[in-house]
Structures are given as C-alpha cells and as structure tokens.
Amino acid sequence: MGRINREVIEEVRASANIVDVVGSYVSLRKRGRNYLGLCPFHSEKEPSFTVSNEKQIFHCFGCGASGSVFDFVMRTRNLTFAEAVKELANRFGIPLPQEEETGQSKKIREMAQRLGQINDLAARYFSENLLNRSSGKVARDYLQTRGINEGTIEDFQLGYAPKSWDGLKRFLVKEKVDLRVAVQAGLLVPKSGGDSYDRFRNRLMFPIKDIRGRATGFGGRALDDSMPKYLNSPETLIFHKGRTLYGLATAREACRRNNETLVVEGYFDLLALYNKSIHQVVAPLGTALTLNHVRMLSRLAPQTVLVFDGDQAGMQAALRSLEFFLREKMAVRFLPLPEGMDPDDFINKEGKEPFMKLLSEAKPLMEVFLEQCLSNYDGSVEGRLRVVREVTPMLRLMDSPVAQEGYLRVLDQRLGVSEEVLRAELSLSSTGGPTAVTSQKKKKEAEPPEWEEGTIRILVNYPQWIPTLEEGSVLKSFQGKDWAEVGRLLMKYYQEGGKLDLSGLLMDVQNEQVRNLISSWSLETSPWREEVAHSRLREYIAGIRSSRRRLLDDLKRLKEEIQAAERSRDEKIMAELLAELQAKKAALLAGEVEDEANLSKGEMV
C-alpha cells in the first residue's frame, strides 16, 4: 500500500489500545499499573512481558522486545509498518484515505492481483487432482512411499499436474481466465501461432506461497523420467526465487514460538520435518541463500539453524551464507548431519528425538567456518597467512567484541600467531594498508560520553524536565547521533503537564537497541529519588555545555595520536590529525568567548 499520512497513523494509534491488541494474542494479568504475561517472542516459564496501558507500550524484560502497538503487530504478524497500520485500521473501523495512483502503478497492481488469483485457481485445480481424481493416484502413491501424511498434504495444499498437455488450460478456460495472463503467470507455455500448453505435466505440485498464504508460484517434481526432476515457475511480477522461501506461511507462527527458524534445502526435507511436528522450517527454491532470504529470516525469528545435507556440498552451501548473516547481525547455527544423509533421510530413519538432540548441539556457523579454515592449515607460513586472511573479513563483520576476542584466541592457539598481531591484521583496510590509528580514532568518536545516555534516562523517568534540553542548545553538543535524535523526539513528544507520549516516541526511534533501552527505563522504578535525579541532570547539562572541557580532552587525544603517527611515519594520517587539531583549537577559542558571554548573562556553565 502507499504512504500513510501522519494524521491517520496517529488516529489509528489513539484508537488501538495496546492492552486490547496484545490481549488478543497473549493472556495478560494486571499487576499494579501494568499488565504481565508470557512473552510471545521467546519461550519462557515465568512471565516477563509487560504492557503499559498508561504509556501504550510493551516491553519484555527477558528478550528485550519492545515498542508501540504497531511494533507488536509487525512482530507477531510479520508485517511491514504500513501493513500493520492497515490491519489495525480495519480492526478498529478507521477508514484509510486512498492515494491517487499513476496509470502505470495501477496497471502493475492490477496485474499482480490477477496473477495471484490465477495461481490460487491453479493450486485448487492441482489439489483436486491429487485428492479426488483417479489420475492423481500415482502422486498419492508416491507421497505414501515418502511417508507424507494427509495433514501435511492438506496444510501445504500439495497437488498433482496430470499427464496432459492442456488439462490446466481447459480448466482455466472454464473459469473464464485470460490465457495470456496465465502465460505471464508461467502456468502455460506459449507456442507459435498464439497457442499455449501446460508447463507442468505429470508432476507432484508444491504451491509456493507468500507470508500471507497466497500462491505466487509453483514447484513441480517429475513422477517419470522427465527432466529436470524439479521444475519451478519462471520469474514473474510476483514470483522471485531469490526473494522467496518455501513454507513461509506455515512456519511463521512456529518460528515465533520457538524463537528460531530451521532452513533446509528441499521440499521433502521440509515436509519430512513438518510430518514430525517440527513446523518452524522453510526452504529456498533450489538456489543458494541470498541476502534477501536472510532478511526474510530475520523477520521470522532472531536466530536461524541451517540443516543442510551431510556432505561437503551441504557444508559449503551453509558457509557461503555466513557473510549475509553477519551483515544482518543475525545469529546462525549449523546442524551437521551424518555423511550422505539429508534431513528427510535422517528423521525418517532415526526419528524425531535424535534429530532434536542434534539440533540442541548445533554450533555457531562462524565456529564451523573457523574450523573449516583451520582444517586446511598445513603448518607453513603461507598457510598461516591464508587462514588469517580467510577469517579476518568475517571477524570484521561481527558486532560483538567478546565473540571476536574468542575467535582471535582460537587462532592464537592454533596458528601460533599472537592476538596483538591478529588484531593488527584485523585493522587492515580492504586495500591492505595500515589504518590502526584511524580505526582507534573512529572507535573513540563512535562512543558517545556516558552523560548523554544518563541525561536521556533521567528525562524518560522524569519527563517534566524535558524542557531543560532547550537550554543553551544542549542537543547540539551531543556526540552520539542516536541519543541526540532521542533528545529531539523527547521534546517533540513532550506534552504540557509533564507528560510524555512514549508510544509515539518509540514509533520514531530507528535504533532497536536504543528503543529497547528507553522502553525498559520507562517501566522501571527510577534508580534515583527525584531530588538526586534533578541534581544529576543539572550536572550532566553543565558538562554538556562545557565545550571547553570536551575540547581539551579532544586536544589531548589528538596530540597522543599525532605522536603515534609520527612514530609510524604515516604522513597522511599526521596531516589529517594536524588539521583536526587546528580546528579544535579554533573551536576552543570561540567557546571561551561564548562562555564568557553566557557568564555575563548569569547562566550556569
């Protein structure tokens, strides 16, 4: 859907009481001013999921999930923000204004709808062939040999394309479908002279559905010697293999409940696990995992387990996806199956319990990658360098210093290379040039002073003091972009009478980690008595406005970095640092003049 204006969003938010919305998914009990229940986003025995009717927010003190009513619907229903607004608007009877469409966008939307409708018709046709017609016996017998039960067949709407060149075509004609659109959907193949024929013949059919259960394409397995053995729909307006996962609709709720998603390689791997009541499983469509796939997985659950074939090809397929998971900051593990077995083989031969045991023992994929690299180490200097240069690009993508240090320690022990040398290698740029001084400099600049976070925390607990942010342009002195943005939002959502529209604020905070912190602070008992908090806030603001103190610290740091650059004889870095030093000195001089002017007005600095 199109862009929704802010007024409508606010109307929906005001009408959709978060306790009512969350209560339709979670059993809530009132405890004091808030409501408590078991978190729907991770498994827990003791309730840590809190909903505030007063502040119209939720926060889980177990997994950290938090936000407004829109965030809750987005998480539970795997929707975009616009889709969540639309769903709540429909639920609470709020009409959404329709944006004017261009002629081209209208054509695309209408064609996408028609393709979806034709695919749904085709799915029904294939399903009826499998279940109700004598021609489907060959497919029913095949499914029986694979051990697929009736419940699984029904849940995935499996079907059968008969051994006919025009069976589906005749069905679509009877349904008054434009066959040219059926060709565009990939269901029919055009012939010369304007005629067409069925693409899928004598195949077991797998409807491929989006997150909402709408058929976007099909996969078909040959039940004779036809090649290829597996045939997918061609790419269409609504079907893209690199952005689609089989089983999305059936796995969604199970992934949320189990806090993880299993990824297998094939249709029958997925169906075999589903058959054994392991429902949190999806599969790519005969392609390697893409960055788009990983982004879809991140919306299903916070962690993924790759359950690929127990051979070298399966291992390599898993390792190729590691970079995507690291870039998306997503936890991923690898479940190694016995050599020569796939998930279908294993669970049908060994059973569910042995599979679940293997699942519990699945290792982080980064650990598997490291072991794979080290297994090829031959003890030579060249071999040592090769391993280090294979591993360090992945380590750079990790956002956990603790995990980084753990892997560096393993390399130290196994390669005989000190952590100091490895860290130096880790700091190399992509061109191989030393940038250690620059990296340290960036790191220091990236870490905002503690008082910025402290100021925001106090103001969340005592919103009546939010107007103090306007004193002396305090926010302009914030070094952390996230905290400065939160400060601006605090002023935006501050209301007269000392009230803070926290739900609206959380809706606008982009950084999830910051959003979770603010949410938890708002529901905590303030760690300070009011008079202590007020005194601390004044100290923080005094520190913020004291640009002289901050600039003096910067000057000291710059002098140390210039000395380090002199020792390494890096003239380029020295020139950059000297230029910054001159700029800081100029700012310090200007600040002294401004401070004197402020003091003459009787302001606190």
Confidence of residue 300 (pLDDT cuts 50, 70, 90): confident
Is 107 a domain residue? yes
Whole-number Cα distances in Å, 476 to 442, 470, 554, 605 = 20, 10, 17, 15
Single out the residue in 91, 118, 141 at which a domain terminates. Answer: 91
Note whether 230 and 192 are same-domain residues: yes
Task: Please tell me whether residues 126 and 156 are part of one structural domain.
Answer: yes
Do 307 and 257 belong to one domain? yes
Contact indicator for 163, 201 with CB cutoff of 8 Å: yes
Query: Residue 173: left if φ>0, alpha if ψ -120 to 50, beta else—which one?
Result: alpha
Give the pLDDT confidence score for residue 591 in this predicted structure. Answer: 40
Tell me if the pTM is above 0.85: no
Residues 243-263: what's their mean pLDDT?
91
Q: Note down the domain range covering 429.
A: 376-446
pLDDT tens sequence across 535-547: 888 877 776 666 5
Residue at 98 is within a domain: no
| pLDDT at residue 50 is higher than 90 | yes
Residues 116 and 219 both lie in one domain: yes
The residue-averaged pLDDT of 425-444 equals: 45
Tokens describing residue 344: 């279908």
The dihedral over CA atoms of 171, 175, 179, 182, expressed in degrees to the nearest 10, equals -80
Structure tokens at 93: 């009877």
Domain count for the chain:
6
Domain boundary among 446, 476, 497: 446
Q: How many residues comprise the chain?
A: 605
Between 171 and 1, name the one with better pLDDT: 171
Same domain as 64, residue 111: no
> What's the pLDDT band for 196 if we cut at 50, 70, 90?
very high
Asked whether residue 605 is domain-assigned, the answer is no
CATH at 134: 3.90.980.10
Give the E-state strand segments of 307-390 in sequence order.
331-334, 363-364
C-alpha dist (Å) from residue 421 to 409, 410, 424, 428: 12, 14, 5, 11
- 549 pLDDT band, cuts 50/70/90, is low
Adjacent-strand bridge partners of 282: 263
State the CATH number of the domain containing residue 526.
1.10.860
Considering the domain boundaries, does residue 1 fall inside one?
no
Cβ proximity of 243 and 217 under 8 Å: no
Task: Name the pLDDT band for 189 (thresholds 50, 70, 90).
Answer: very high
Domain assignment present for 410: yes
Do 235 and 252 lie in one domain? The reply is no
Same domain? 277 vs 327: yes
Secondary structure (H, E, C), 185-245? CCCEEECHHHCEEECCCCEEEEEEECCCCCEEEEEEEECCCCCCCEEECCCCCCCCHHHCC
Residues 2-21: what's their mean pLDDT? 83
Residues 6+ apart with CB under 8 A from 322: 332, 365, 366, 369, 394
Residue 455 lies in a domain: yes
Strands (E), 19-65: 29-31, 34-37, 49-52, 57-60
117 vs 101 pLDDT, higher one: 117
Which domain CATH number covers 67? 3.90.580.10
Residues 267, 360, single domain; the answer is yes
- Closest to 119 measured CA to CA, from 177, 201, 170: 177
Confidence bin at 126 (pLDDT 50/70/90): very high
HEC assignment per residue over 487-509? HHHHHHHEECCCEECHHHHHHHC
423 and 455 share a domain?
Answer: no
Enumerate long-range contacts of 30-33, CB under 8 Å, 24 or more apart.
none
Most confident of 138-142, 251-255, 514-518: 138-142
In the block, residue with structure tokens 């601390």: 536
Question: Which amino acid is present at 49?
Answer: F
User: Does 96 reside within a domain?
Assistant: no
Same domain? For 186 and 300 the reply is no
Tokens of 104: 């081209």
Strand 303-306 with 331-334, pairing: parallel
Which residues on neighbouring strands pair with residue 34, listed in sequence order?
A: 31, 52
Mean pLDDT of the chain: 84
Residue 279: closest CA among 250, 259, 237: 250
- pLDDT tens digits for range 397-432: 887 788 888 998 998 899 888 878 888 777 643 333
> Taking 60 as the threshold, does the pLDDT of residue 309 lie above it?
yes
**pLDDT score at 358:** 95
- 81 located within any domain: yes
Do residues 577 and 571 make contact, with C-beta atoms less than 8 angstroms apart? Answer: no
Question: How many CB atoms lie under 10 A from the CB of residue 296?
Answer: 19
Query: How many angstroms separate the CA atoms of 187 and 197, rounded?
Result: 9
Q: Which of 368, 402, 417 is the last residue of a domain?
A: 368
Q: What is the CATH number of the domain that holds 306?
A: 3.40.1360.10
Which residues on neighbouring strands pair with residue 221, listed in sequence order? 204, 230
Q: Which residues pair with 30 in a beta bridge?
A: 35
406 with 513, same domain: the answer is no
Q: Which of 10-14, 103-107, 319-323 has the highest mean pLDDT?
A: 319-323
347: tokens are: 């669970």
Same domain, 179 and 60: no
Q: How confident is the model at residue 553 (pLDDT cuts 50, 70, 90)?
A: low
